[in-house]
Each structure stands twice: as C-alpha cells, then as structure tokens.
Structure 1
Amino acid sequence: VLRLWEKDPLEGAPQAKGIVIEKRVVEQRKPSSGLIKCVRVQLIKNNAQVTAFVPGEGAIDFIDEHDEVIIEKVGGSKGGSIGTMVGLKYKVVKVNGVPLSEILKGKKQKPAR
C-alpha cells in the first residue's frame, strides 16, 4: 500500500499557494540535455519548501522573488516526476492570481503586489 499523502507537501490537495524564494536552473537527466527553469517555493499552509518548474518559453522572466504562485502536481506515476526532469514533481500554474498561460499569450499582465 502506497501512503504518499504522509510525505506529500501539498497534504493531498490538488493545488497549493506559496511564495517564491528563489529562481534556479536544473539540468535534465542523461539522454536529454538542457536547462529547466525552476523556482523554489515556500508553501503557505505548512511552510514546506518545494521546487516547481515553470512551463513555457520565457515564462521565468514573469516570475520574481516574493511573488505569490499557485503550484500543482505534474502527474507522474506514483506521484513522481515526468521524463527527464529530475525530482520536479510540481509546476507553476498562476502568478499573483493570474494564469501563467494568459501572461505568456499576452492577454493579461501580471499585477504588481
């Protein structure tokens, strides 16, 4: 029996809100080569720190330190990471309440906090 919720920083929730602590870059696993843009997020509900990747080209430029982000699970098997992304189980969905996809398309701007 897998009891993943015992170690889960999101505590079984589909999404969680957090504050960006720092931006960082993670290398991909062996067959692929490339840099994955990530942010280190401290969750508001339990002060746990997780690393979440930022999907989209140039999306890391729209995220600053101390921004409020919403993260969700990536959805690998058994709660794990996907493909060549080592240990990245979460991705950023919203920045300061605005969906990251709409910021990238140019439909909305990120509000200043």
Structure 2
Amino acid sequence: MKDRRLRQLLVLTDLIRDRSLENLRRAAAERDLTRALIAGLEAPPASDLPALAAAQVALSYQRWADERRRELNMQLARQMVSVAQRQAEARLAFGRAEVLHRLATPGRR
C-alpha cells in the first residue's frame, strides 16, 4: 500500500476510534446521570411537620418516588445496554487503529 494511502487510512481509523470513544463517554455520562437521579430520590422525612402530616407527606412522596424510580430504572437498563454496545464498538475501532499503526510503523510488527 502506498504511504500516502496508508497515512489517509490511519487518519480515518483514528477519527473513527476517537468518535467511538466519544460516543462511549457520552453514553456513560448519561448512565451516570440516571444513577445520580435514582440516588437523589432518597429523601429524609420532614421534621418540621406534625407527625400525621409528616406521615401523609412521606407516603405521598414515596408513591411518587417509587413510580419515578421504576421509570428511571427502565431508562438505566436501556442506557447500560447502550454503554455495552458503545464499548464493543470502541474496542473494535481501537483494535483496528492499533493494527494499522503497527503496520505503518517499521519494525513494530
């Protein structure tokens, strides 16, 4: 393969690798945000209310939080699948770029 074409191929594989890594980073950031939202649903009980009112507020909040947690857990499951797919894509892109760099570097095969 001509040097010029090999250099062009190296640039392209590096761009693909970088794009794959960025896609993985974004997917992981979205997953981490969802995890933080789930963790944020834990709320301390209201201490400045009478006992009966505090219990009613806690029960109402808990119902809402349980529903929200279910929604977020489904979203988290989808995001975890996305992260796994992005990891596989990044591994493949990284491997391809590494192989081409080894082929392009004399004595590194």
TM-score, normalised relative to structure 1: 0.19
| Bigger Rg over Cα | 2
TM-score, normalised relative to structure 2: 0.19
User: Which structure's relative contact order is higher, taking Cα pairs within 8 Å and 6+ residues apart?
Assistant: 2
Which structure: greater helix fraction? 2
Which structure: greater strand fraction? 1
